[in-house]
Amino acid sequence: MSITKRTYDAVIVGAGGAGLRAALQLSEAGLKTAVLTKVFPTRSHTVAAQGGVAASLGNSTEDNWHWHMYDTVKGSDWLGDQDAIEFMCRKANEVVVELEHYGMPFDRLDNGKIYQRPFGGHSQNYGQTPVSRSCAAADRTGHAMLHALYQRNVRANTQFFVEWMALDLIRDADGDVVGVTAMEMETGEVSIFHAKAIVFATGGAGRIFYSSTNAFINTGDGVGMAARAGIPLEDMEFWQFHPTGVAGAGVLITEGVRGEGGILRNADGERFMERYAPTLKDLASRDVVSRSMVTEINEGRGCGPDKDHVMLDITHLSPDTIMKRLPGIREISIQFAGVDPIKAPIPVVPTCHYQMGGIPTNYKGQVVMPKAGNPNAPVTGFYAAGECACASVHGANRLGTNSLLDLLVFGKSAGETVVEDIQSGNLRLKPLPEDAADAAMARISRLDNQTNGTDVHEVRLAMQRTMQKHAGVFRFKELLEEGVAEILKVAEQAKTTEIKDKSKVWNTARVEALELDNLIEVAKATMISAEARKESRGAHVRDDAPDSEEFPNGRNDKEWLKHTLWFSEGNRLDYKPVNLEPMNEGTKPIALAKRVY
């Protein structure tokens, strides 16, 4: 069968904030650029981001990038690489102002400057008091941002392939990345995209969990494709549970609600965060707040007939503030919880929200992996940015509003690196290997020929329940061990999924089956990496790693201050050092300390 080939300078997979920001850099430099996306660009999950994008503009409270860097390193529980964190925090103001100049409709202060609100873990003077650092467009920041970036790309003539699903990465005999296979969802036909550079910006994979704030399309495709092509995945044990998903529905209530003054209360009406985080209280970082909530629920102080959630109270805010700053949240509460937050508190529980790990990159957006003694050797032709990538700025726990910032900074940076690598002649169009499309065609033809197989929805549900039970907010030694066996069993079932409808045109059953392959890679990586990490750090908290003087909060820096690398083949684990050195000589590293808020 002959397969259509298309040739570009660069192909970007994903049209969320990271993909669009990278595409802009390439198109504006005059490179022939294609962007593939499963959904129309402005439907990417970035559109759902509510609370804001971090930058130390200091518009209403004093601020600077050093404090932002300190907060981010501390938030990461020292697992973030300090060179990448310094790079991101220093670049923040530039990329946010740039976005404003692209037409992003930020809210304004009376003096005309960008409105900023406080967010969890962001502080002044190295953890002393909350700071207003999150630049917001009401509670629809991601929506405004994605539209501004999309329009700018239309202006730059970026070529979009909408409703195209990338299937597999193409690497040649040298291990260099030379293209990607993709299926047009409308026709079911597979094509090869041949390019000098491939940039992955495929977003997160929150759908491995049963309860998630993530869109249904967040199936970790880029991460799965990288894993199948022999690229390791970094720090996949670290998943963020957002404290405030609507109880029973999972839909997100932004941390911006607490930034505007919202308070968490237990069944006794007590503001319980005062006990867990005396300084930042409800604005402590997300892992800390989520665990405090689960502890309240486990100790019998949960609300409702089943005592299975807590309350987020903003009834003390003026209706005007709620209508002006949090209109979307009011709507979500009315629709999904049946309460008007002007009059009554919102029932909330921690819900899976964000993957801290992903495809390993450096701060230039180059994908890196161990080679000939170098743990961070770039993979020629391969770049990644956004939630699918691990730069690593979020380490073991991400601070709110640092993800939208990550998209802008590392989307731009990956774009700049590709432009440099192509214009300098470092990257050329290498020939496609003979078997370029084999991996993708084998997956499609297995689905076409499978009989007596397993059901895609049942296997996905089994995966989601396994992840929720065995790798949740708190982690237990036995549950993790059982979880590894369970998830490997589910992965076996995923090898024989069968779709009854074999037609080609708009076959969503086929798309879901192909997505499941990617979810399974992510789920295996998560469970196996989590079982192996015998300490508590950030979002990964184990019952058998208690707080002690030697191991603050259960963290063991002697043995575990290192990044996990999981290889799909043989489920092999490897580790690499954390970079504790900032980028610039003049910048002081943030020294290891116990994390308290």
Ligand X SMILES: Cc1cc2nc3c(=O)[nH]c(=O)nc-3n(C[C@H](O)[C@H](O)[C@H](O)COP(=O)(O)OP(=O)(O)OC[C@H]3O[C@@H](n4cnc5c(N)ncnc54)[C@H](O)[C@@H]3O)c2cc1C
Catalytic annotation, residues: 286
Contacts of 94 (CB under 8 A, 6+ apart): none
Burial class (CB in 10 A: 0-12, 13-18, 19+), 110: exposed
Report the run of H or E that residue 563 belongs to, with start and end: strand 562-567
Ligand-binding site membership of 156 (annotated): no
Residue 132, token pair as written in the block? 């207003």
Residues that bind ligand X (CB under 6 A): 13-19, 36-39, 44-46, 48-53, 141-142, 164-166, 201-204, 213-214, 217-218, 221, 252, 254, 354, 386-388, 401-404, 407
- Smallest distance, ligand X to C-beta of residue 99, A: 13
- Smallest distance, ligand X to C-beta of residue 52, A: 5
- Smallest distance, ligand X to C-beta of residue 93, A: 16
- Smallest distance, ligand X to C-beta of residue 546, A: 31
Residue whose Cβ sits closest to ligand X: 16
- Buried/exposed code over 528-565 (b: 16+ C-beta within 10 A; e: otherwise): bbbbebebbbbbbbbeebeeeeebbbbbbbeebbbbbb
- The C-alpha angle 309, 312, 314, rounded to 5 degrees, equals 160
- Smallest distance, ligand X to C-beta of residue 511, A: 9
Quickly count: other Cβ atoms within 10 Å of residue 144's Cβ.
21
Ligand-binding site membership of 47 (annotated): yes
DSSP β-ladder status, 562-567 and 572-577: antiparallel
Minimum CB distance to ligand X smaller for 65 or for 560:
65
Minimum CB distance to ligand X smaller for 199 or for 490:
199
Ligand-binding site membership of 353 (annotated): yes
Residue for token pair 């037609």: 503
Ligand-binding site membership of 261 (annotated): no
d(CA 521, CA 540): 19
- Smallest distance, ligand X to C-beta of residue 407, A: 5
Q: What are phi and psi of 365, to 5 degrees?
A: 85, 0
Minimum CB distance to ligand X smaller for 177 or for 484:
177
Minimum CB distance to ligand X smaller for 345 or for 358:
358
137 close to 105: Cβ distance less than 8 angstroms: yes
Secondary structure string (H, E, C) spanning 322-357: HHHHCHHHHHHHHHHHCCCCCCCCEEEEEEEEEECC
Ligand-binding site membership of 43 (annotated): yes
Ligand-binding site membership of 51 (annotated): yes
Minimum CB distance to ligand X smaller for 221 or for 535:
221
Ligand-binding site membership of 44 (annotated): yes
Minimum CB distance to ligand X smaller for 93 or for 553:
93
- Buried/exposed code over 483-507 (b: 16+ C-beta within 10 A; e: otherwise): bbebbeebbebbeebbbeeeebeeb
Residues making up the binding site: 14-19, 37-52, 221, 242, 254, 353, 387, 398, 403-404
Show binding-site residues for substrate: 242, 254, 353, 398
Residues of each annotated binding site for FAD: 14-19, 37-52, 221, 387, 403-404
